Amino acid sequence: MDDAWNQSFAVLRQLSAEDFRSGAEISRQLRVSRASVHNLVERARGLGVMIHAVPGRGYRLAEPCSWLDAEALRAGLLPGYRLTLEQVCDSTNSRLLALAARGEAHKSVLAAEWQTGGRGRRGRAWLAAPGAGLTFSLLWRFNRPLTALSGLSLAVGVALAEALEATGALGIGLKWPNDVLAGGAKLAGILIETQGDMLSNATAVIGVGLNVRAAPSLPEAATVALAELIDADIDRNRLLTRVLVSLDRVLEAFDRHGFAPLREAWQARHVWQGKPVRVMGGAGPVEGVALGVDAAGVLRIETIDGVQVIHAGEVSLRPGTFV
Ligand code: BTN
């Protein structure tokens, strides 16, 4: 990471939503010029951080923000976990995949305040302003081969839903194969990338992007943030450790028994259960009523030609009623 990014984050950590902090004070504290403080604030604004600037008073965050703190995070980790916190990283998934190939340990976590090249599924980008979300990846070395990871992304969805519900959020739903929704809008996304061959034990990098506060980078109609669902301040450090504890419980179960024991928990939150859907898969669109998933996490659709199973694809609500 270059120095200017480091310094932008150092400036952000000097600011709060409660009081104005003068440019002079920040410049003294960080030993940089007033002009540099101005430029660093502008840089942070360019990333989507909302900062009020009032001549004569200084700078103030538009909304309260709990910055990620490596010590606070490590204090909340379960034994066996190793956490690295980066202020800026290209993509926590890309970085952890590279580390995994060089032998990085099971249960390593890489979290970043901001990703310059956050990746979503199907080549899409994942955008999150610093402080507005959680973006992290977890390295898991399974005791099962790649061929036995069916349903893993659904299992991760269950872990996220349970952790979010524990914060008091209501109405969390899961969309096959791996989106976490609330009120029909996307709250979190999951990107799982694997290493290994068909026979040896598989390694997965499980990337999670979770919207915590609404930010200009979120396309409003399609996304929702946790802060809109709960009536309490969100401590992102606590939230991340809570999510990691939930992931640990679910992934340990998945590693031992596969998706089957988690199926009911997934299905109870399935947003399109019993509804007409269109699935865009490899073999063209399939239309019918979503029956839910089987013990391997495969989606079952009742079509006019009988029940069809879908292993991979994107589901959308089908307009009109299925008869
Ligand atoms: C999706 O819904 O398309 C998946 C989004 C996954 C985003 C996360 S953010 C942390 C990790 N690093 C990445 O580059 N992507 C994942």
Q: Which atom of ligand 1 is nearest to the CA of 120?
A: 3
Minimal-distance CA residue to ligand 1 atom 11: 207
- One pLDDT digit (tens) per residue for the chain, 323 residues: 567 777 888 888 889 888 999 999 999 998 989 999 999 888 888 888 889 999 999 999 988 888 999 999 999 999 999 999 999 999 999 999 999 999 999 999 999 999 999 999 988 999 888 889 999 999 999 999 999 999 999 999 999 999 999 999 999 999 998 899 999 899 999 999 999 877 889 999 999 999 998 876 555 458 999 999 998 889 999 999 999 999 999 999 999 999 999 999 999 999 999 999 988 866 678 899 999 999 999 999 999 999 999 887 777 766 545 44
Distance 3 CA to ligand 1 centre (A): 25
Nearest CA-CA partner of 124 in 225, 248, 207: 207
Concatenating the DSSP letter of every residue in 210-262 gives EE-S--TTS-GGGB--GGGT-SS---HHHHHHHHHHHHHHHHHHHHHH-SGGG
Distance 269 CA to ligand 1 centre (A): 21
Distance 118 CA to ligand 1 centre (A): 6
Distance 123 CA to ligand 1 centre (A): 10
Distance 177 CA to ligand 1 centre (A): 14
Distance 24 CA to ligand 1 centre (A): 38
Distance 120 CA to ligand 1 centre (A): 4
Q: Which atom of ligand 1 is nearest to the CA of 115?
A: 14
Concatenating the DSSP letter of every residue in 69-127 gives -HHHHHHTPPTT-EEEEEEEES-HHHHHHHHHHTTPPTTEEEEEEEESS-B-GGG-B--
Helix, strand, coil % (nearest 5) of the chain? 35, 30, 35
Q: Which atom of ligand 1 is nearest to the CA of 91?
A: 14
Q: What is the pLDDT of residue 323?
A: 40
Distance 12 CA to ligand 1 centre (A): 24
CA dihedral over 81, 247, 227, 224, signed as positive or negative: positive
Minimal-distance CA residue to ligand 1 atom 2: 189
Burial (CB count within 10 angstroms: exposed 0-12, middle 13-18, buried 19+), residue 98: exposed
* Residues with a CB atom less than 6 Å from ligand 1: 91-93, 115, 118-121, 124, 126, 135-137, 179, 189-191, 207-209
Q: What is the pLDDT of residue 322?
A: 46
Taking the CA of residue 287 as centre, how many other CA atoms within 13 Å lie in the half-sphere pointing to its CB? Answer: 8
Taking only the tens place, the pLDDT of each residue in 232-247 is 889 999 999 999 999 9
CA 7 to CA 11: how far, in whole Å? 6
Instruction: Tell me how many degrees the CA angle 12-247-187 measures, rounded to the nearest 5.
Output: 55
Q: At what angle do helices 236-257 and 152-166 cross, to 10 degrees?
A: 140
Substitution candidate for ligand 1 out of 86, 135, 211 with most atoms within 8 A of CB? 135
Minimal-distance CA residue to ligand 1 atom 7: 209
Taking only the tens place, the pLDDT of each residue in 135-145 is 999 999 999 99
Distance 299 CA to ligand 1 centre (A): 22
Nearest CA-CA partner of 294 in 263, 266, 269: 263
CA 280 to CA 277: how far, in whole Å? 10
Substitution candidate for ligand 1 out of 92, 95, 97, 119 with most atoms within 8 A of CB? 119
Average model confidence (pLDDT) for the chain?
A: 91
